[in-house]
């Protein structure tokens, strides 16, 4: 039988760099144990490379641990005399539920009102990825995105709404296929009813 603890080189997946380390070998060993644990034969022809593939996939699913969301935002801050609402909506996100290690996925809607500084719009999507590509719960994910924006841009206020489907509810447990979980968080001026309602009205087509 193949030694599950041997050092294996990861060729990376997507934008992840090549790496060879004990952590990757441990992931391969863990997935081998899982395959055997569910009653399959990890040495069966169709499964021989599955532990390595699964390990690479898990590295990609959790690549947010190697990214610094604050540095992502700081890399594209610009001084601008603009103080109206900025909204980026329909930002696709994929994450892993930390309770069952199965996916949840959906969209994030982000708004902020600048106070002398704006950020490159793509950076908002990138911090969603950086926080979501970790073991997460939706509630914490919402707050992490919000406070990253507030702490680094220092706007008059920020708003984040996430709507997601959770596979832990859809393919196990209560098995409710059409359930959607919506979470929201607000800072500063978005805590005022008028401002919050303006933001929600602008994204309400997505929440229908």
Active site residue 192: no
Q: Which of 59, 138, 144, 163 is catalytic?
A: 138
The residues pairing with 185 across neighbouring beta strands, listed in sequence order, are: 160
Active site residue 98: yes
Q: Which of 2, 99, 139, 192 is catalytic?
A: 99
Q: Which of 52, 148, 163, 166 is catalytic?
A: 166
Q: Which of 67, 143, 147, 168 is catalytic?
A: 168
Active site residue 97: yes
Active site residue 198: no
CA separation for the pair 124, 106 (Å, rounded)? 16
| Contacts of the segment 65-69: beta carbons below 8 A, 24+ positions apart | 65/133, 65/134, 66/16, 67/129, 67/130, 67/133, 68/130, 69/126, 69/127, 69/130, 69/131, 69/144, 69/148
Active site residue 109: no
Q: What distances in angstroms separate CA 199 from CA 44, 103, 113, 115, 203, one per listed residue?
A: 54, 28, 11, 17, 7
Q: Which of 67, 100, 147, 198 is catalytic?
A: 100
Active site residue 168: yes
Q: Which of 71, 98, 139, 204 is catalytic?
A: 98
Q: Which of 97, 144, 148, 163 is catalytic?
A: 97
Count of all residues that appear for the chain in the document: 208
Q: Catalytic residues, which ones?
A: 97-100, 138, 166, 168
């Amino acid at each position: 039988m193949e030694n599950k603890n041997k050092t294996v080189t990861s060729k990376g997946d997507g934008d992840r760099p090549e790496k060879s380390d004990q952590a990757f070998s441990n992931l391969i060993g863990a997935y081998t144990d899982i395959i055997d644990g569910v009653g399959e034969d990890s040495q069966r022809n169709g499964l021989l490379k599955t532990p390595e593939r699964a390990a690479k996939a898990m590295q990609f699913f959790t690549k947010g641990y190697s990214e610094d969301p604050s540095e992502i935002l700081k890399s594209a801050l610009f001084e601008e005399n603009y103080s109206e609402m900025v909204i980026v909506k329909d930002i696709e996100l994929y994450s892993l539920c930390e309770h069952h290690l199965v996916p949840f996925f959906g969209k994030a809607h982000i708004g902020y009102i600048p106070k002398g500084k704006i950020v490159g719009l793509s950076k908002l999507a990138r911090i969603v990825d950086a926080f979501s590509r970790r073991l997460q719960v939706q509630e914490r994910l919402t707050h992490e995105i919000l406070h990253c924006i507030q702490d680094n841009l220092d706007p008059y206020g920020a708003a984040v709404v996430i709507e997601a489907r959770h596979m832990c509810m859809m393919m196990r447990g209560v098995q409710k296929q059409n359930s959607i979980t919506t979470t929201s968080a607000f800072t500063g001026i978005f805590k005022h009813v008028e401002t919050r309602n303006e933001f929600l009205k602008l994204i309400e087509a997505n929440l229908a």
